[in-house]
Structure 1
Amino acid sequence: MSFHHVDQGVYEKGGARINKPEAKALVADLVERLQSPGFRESRLTIGVVTFNAEQQALIEDLLDEERRRDPSIEPHFADAELEPVFVKNLESVQGDERDIVYFSITYGPDHTGVVSMNFGPMNRTGGERRLNVAITRARHELRIFSSLRAEQMNLARTQAIGVRDLKHFLDFAERGVPALATATTGSLGSFESPFEEAVAAALTRQGWELHTQVGASAFRVDLAVVHPDAQGVYLSGIECDGATYHRAATARDRDKLREQVLRGLGWEILRVWSTDWWIDAAGTLEKIDTDLRRLLAKSRSRRATKAVATSPAASAAVVGENAAADVRPESVTNDQNRCSAA
């Protein structure tokens, strides 16, 4: 599985319901694969899955143009000995399989950069089953082209199981196995103590958005701070020595083990002691607020560096430098990022 982010992708919602940049990027990659030396001899077959019929039609038109431009790829669409390339949407792909499947997510930011939480069939009952069908059509390789990243999806705005599964799927496609450990279903409950509620209220007045009891099993974060720049991810978790803390069997479990596990799952953890809050609530709040702003600055710097490194212009510069040095790069990609979280 590989994730290919289309940075300039725009979803034309409400009208055309297509994503032209994403379709063009997908078709370019597919045609390059068909034209590559030895691909026909490999006898690998290809299929394309889209989220709606409009994106399907667009990709079919783009492929027709490529077939007219380069007749050498025509056998992949018409050879009776091999399964031909197909392009189908989420509703019509059931039962079809190919060795390599391209998946166009289609949905993404609109012309103003806003991401709607309306993902068509994903929002309806049974949407998760449609997604399951789409992502299990590949025998050998699944290539996801998306203008949308998991961090842009805010599960607080929907209760649809299909949308939740789509977010986790995109996160896994981009980051790999580490995404499994940090997948959450959002808030699992209310405050467990008046102390937690007081801390949350104070931080909310400072402008932070918080969710309560986020995580799984016994390793839930008391308060999770939503990232201001990406509503689908958390900037930090805040541990309070409230009910969950005091239920731990030993001091080691309370003070070390829980935090180690949470950090191992990818959380940045800050701690608020009830005694500090009781003695100096204003000072403790100021310290937590300062720590959160430090984490935010660090995150923004990391995200900016990542955006520059993965931009098409940066990749072109790398290629140009290598060419000038008469060096053939083994691989220059800008979209198969499986590394760290935001």
Structure 2
Amino acid sequence: RQMPPTQFFGRMLGDTSSEEGSLEMQAGDVESILGLAIARNMPQRMLRWHYRSKHESLIAVSNREFYDNQLYVVPSPERSGELGVKWRFVETGRFLKGRNEIEANVVAEAIIRHARECPQWTLGVAAFSVTQRDAILESLAKLRRSNLELDSFFDPNAADPFFVKNLENVQGDERDAIFVSVGYGPGEDGKVSLNFGPVSATGGERRLNVLMTRAKRVLQIFSSMHAEDIDLTRATGRGPAVFREYLRFAEKGGEFDAARGGRSSDRFADVVARQLEERGYSVVKQVGLAGLYVDLAIIDPDNSSRYLMGIIVDGETWSSARSARDRNRTTDGVLQSQGWMIHHLWSLDWFRRPTEQLQKLVETIEAACNGRSAPKEARLASTVSDVSRQSGTPDPFSTSLEAENEKKPGGRKRATQEK
């Protein structure tokens, strides 16, 4: 789903024609080697793991619009805050003579602010047009002359140097933070033109896909227009339609339904969630966007913008993994690389010793709240002790353990009372 190659050099050299019906013409009609392979009915396999984004919102629209929600997107322990898609509306911005000077000034000021406040994060800026790119560079040059102490941030010899590019030149780049300057907006008459340059051309939607997936941590969109300004009855092609979806998503703050309180169909996870909620914890089920989910996530009681810990159970999602490596190594590895603290619950352990397992889980959560790591058990799930549940006792998968737990008080309620 990358950008198609440009015909610029072919036009310059006059090398755009060939003999009709020749093999060269047949290959030349296809825009890429991938397209040629597909035309020859070669076997296909999709690379489904998305590795770049540190927050699901950065890939949410592209996953829906271009990949049919088939990507495996690693959920982030950050519920909100500084990561993800951000929206910056430039109310006074005007698109005049092919550029938006006011928006360019706002972007340049944001660049200086980033260099001063977040120099540890690499930054790239992408504009929808060459003229808007030049306007940003001109405004930035003026600001840099009065902020010489920030010159080290703009060092062109850095490992991942700062850049300002136009949409068609950004493929292959990635940075911690990406600022996108739309540029287009109301003209002198207050109306928005529906000609969005390369976005309106054939393949414009793929240019957008490349542009909007360059960020690893933060994608901030600067725009002088709203999604509703794009009238799809007048704008033709898929590019403007996808552009409108990106703007709408950003305006909503990068919110997506799949990772905000989705219902779990796993009975074991539902029981555990209910037990934790009865003890005062805030629990979110099925956290994730696509492909990879955390069964239960505990919201940090001291910082509601992040998850304190994730809980993986051996339920339907766990058992549907294609291999033991995917279940026990890959999932944990990628989640921990995103900053998750993961705790595993085994259903057989819970069934045989529900009170003990719940108490251990509460202790693990409390240890995480206090900034400590709970001790790990050496045994595997398959080496549970032979402690049978007595006949006539409650089913730990369907009833509350509150009565039994009165003998062993614990959880946030007890901790709060002690305080």
Q: If the length of structure 2 is used for normalisation, what is the TM-score?
A: 0.40
